[in-house]
Amino acid sequence: MIISELILMGEKQPLSHRAKQLIAQMSYYIVKHKLALLRETYEMLNNIADTKRATALE
């Protein structure tokens, strides 16, 4: 079950405390993973820019 399905279930009937904890935990890991991807992308773009600057200076 994905997070959006769990949230929709919660609108129809109250979610248990454990279900709420799981939703929060999954959301945390998704955000953490997206931040890691953004950091990797930023690092790659910086490396490309550094290479271009070094090439231009030669």
Q: Which of 2, 37, 50 is nearest to 22 (CA)?
A: 2
pLDDT at 3: 66
Structure tokens at 34: 């997206």
The C-alpha torsion from 48 through 51 and 53 to 54, rounded to 10°, is 170
10-residue mean pLDDT profile of the chain (58 residues): values are 66 76 89 96 96 90
- pTM metric for this prediction: 0.65
Contacts of 25 (CB under 8 A, 6+ apart): none
Instruction: Give rounded-to-5 percent helix, strand, coil for the chain.
Output: 90, 0, 10
As a whole number of angstroms, the distance between CA 29 and CA 31 comes to: 5
